[in-house]
């Protein structure tokens, strides 16, 4: 039987791919906390857990008609970002995949009439920096499956896909899976003429005081393991344009039990700015006892449908 052994919200902000001297020049001689945070995540957590598969909910892979999961036996090549080739260019990548898991999710979706999923192994399917940037820092030979973030989904659609991914993992033998919600928090960027003045990691450059307050509230709830409050806040949070409708988080938490999840978030970075957007790494260790969720009889009060 497969199991989810850990999960994280992880920033893939383009700045992590800049050379260290450049990063320090943007931050008054200091480095962003995001880079050492990823390195610590690898050495302090992932090396210990010995997962065999990473599932990445990639907010830079926008899909429309159905949920899409990569189903390649292997993806390899060289990557240059269409968005920011100055900092992300000619990156060699080589990652095995987990087609058995991807097709298991597709089969589960086909058995329902309220969701749709496609496991795609087309060799020409593009790869995006929400996966490549994390792979650069976190790869240890694991299999990688990327999941697109569907721009037509509502919050409950994301939560349901996460639930199906958890069911697919449980139905496979000998799987140890880590979920990586690859994306930011509030995601409004400062205007073009101001960009060059807002490249440091200081949260003073977050797009607005209201967006910063919303991010900090979400992070506080995550640290406390209050996922129900984060899910219920999703409609209001949309005012601050969380990256990918916050779908990366919603799919991840859906796989961990949704609003019954009790895992406390452990910060692996400071809360930082990336040209107006909020960024952070937050790790979720599986609670003692092995269950991600509070039993339903303890956590049974009703919740209105969440629609971003």
Predicted model pTM: 0.94
Which residue, among 7, 6, 34, 3, has the nearest Cα to 181 in the 3D structure? 7
Residues sharing a CB contact under 8 Å with residue 131, sequence separation 6 or more, in sequence order: 12, 56, 58, 60, 61, 144, 146, 182
Report strand pairing: 176-182 vs 265-267: unpaired
Contact 282, 265 (CB under 8 A): yes
Give domain status of residue 271, yes or no. yes
What per-residue confidence (pLDDT) applies to 57? 98
End-to-end CA, the chain? 34
Give domain status of residue 146, yes or no. yes
Task: For residue 246, give its domain range.
Answer: 3-285
Give domain status of residue 301, yes or no. no
Query: Which helix or strand (DSSP H or E) is residue 220 part of?
Result: helix 209-224
Give domain status of residue 303, yes or no. no
Report strand pairing: 3-10 vs 176-182: parallel
> How many domains does the chain fold into?
1
- Structure confidence by residue, pLDDT tens digits, 35-60: 999 999 999 999 999 999 999 999 99
- Structure confidence by residue, pLDDT tens digits, 109-121: 999 999 999 999 9
Burial of 15 (0-12, 13-18, 19+ CB in 10 A): buried
3-state secondary structure of 232: helix
Burial of 116 (0-12, 13-18, 19+ CB in 10 A): middle
CATH number of the domain to which 158 belongs: 3.40.830.10
Give domain status of residue 291, yes or no. no
Contact 168, 105 (CB under 8 A): yes
Give domain status of residue 184, yes or no. yes
Give domain status of residue 298, yes or no. no
The CA angle 188-22-8, to the nearest 5 degrees, is 50
Give domain status of residue 306, yes or no. no
| DSSP code at position 239 | G
Contact 176, 101 (CB under 8 A): no
3-state secondary structure of 184: coil
Intervals of the chain under pLDDT 70: 294-308
What per-residue confidence (pLDDT) applies to 294? 66
């Amino acid at each position: 039987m497969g199991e989810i052994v850990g999960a994280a919200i992880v920033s893939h902000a383009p700045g992590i791919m800049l050379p260290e001297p450049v990063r320090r020049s943007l931050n008054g001689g200091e480095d962003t906390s995001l880079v050492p945070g990823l390195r610590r995540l690898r050495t302090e957590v992932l090396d210990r857990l010995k997962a065999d598969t990473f599932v990445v909910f990639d907010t830079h892979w926008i899909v429309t008609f159905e949920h899409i999961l990569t189903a390649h036996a292997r993806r390899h090549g060289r990557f240059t970002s269409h968005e920011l080739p100055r900092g992300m260019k000619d990156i060699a990548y080589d990652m095995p995949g987990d087609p058995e898991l991807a097709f298991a999710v597709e089969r589960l979706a086909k058995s329902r009439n309220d969701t749709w999923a496609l496991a795609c192994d087309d060799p020409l399917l593009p790869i995006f920096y929400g996966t490549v940037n994390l792979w650069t820092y976190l790869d240890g030979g694991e299999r990688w499956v990327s999941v697109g973030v569907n721009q037509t989904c509502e919050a409950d659609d994301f939560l349901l896909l996460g639930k199906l991914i958890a069911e697919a993992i449980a139905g496979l033998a000998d799987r140890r899976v880590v979920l990586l919600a690859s994306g930011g928090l509030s995601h409004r960027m400062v205007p073009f003429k101001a960009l060059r003045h807002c490249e440091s990691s200081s949260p003073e450059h977050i797009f607005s005081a209201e967006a910063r307050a919303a991010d900090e509230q979400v992070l506080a709830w995550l640290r406390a393991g209050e996922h129900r409050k984060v899910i219920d806040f999703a409609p209001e949070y949309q005012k601050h344009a969380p990256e990918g409708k916050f779908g990366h988080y919603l799919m991840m938490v859906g796989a961990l039990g949704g609003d019954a999840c009790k895992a406390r978030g452990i910060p692996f970075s400071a809360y930082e700015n990336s040209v107006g957007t909020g960024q952070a790494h937050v790790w979720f260790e599986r609670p003692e006892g092995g269950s991600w969720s509070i039993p339903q009889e303890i956590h049974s009060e009703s919740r209105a449908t969440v629609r971003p």
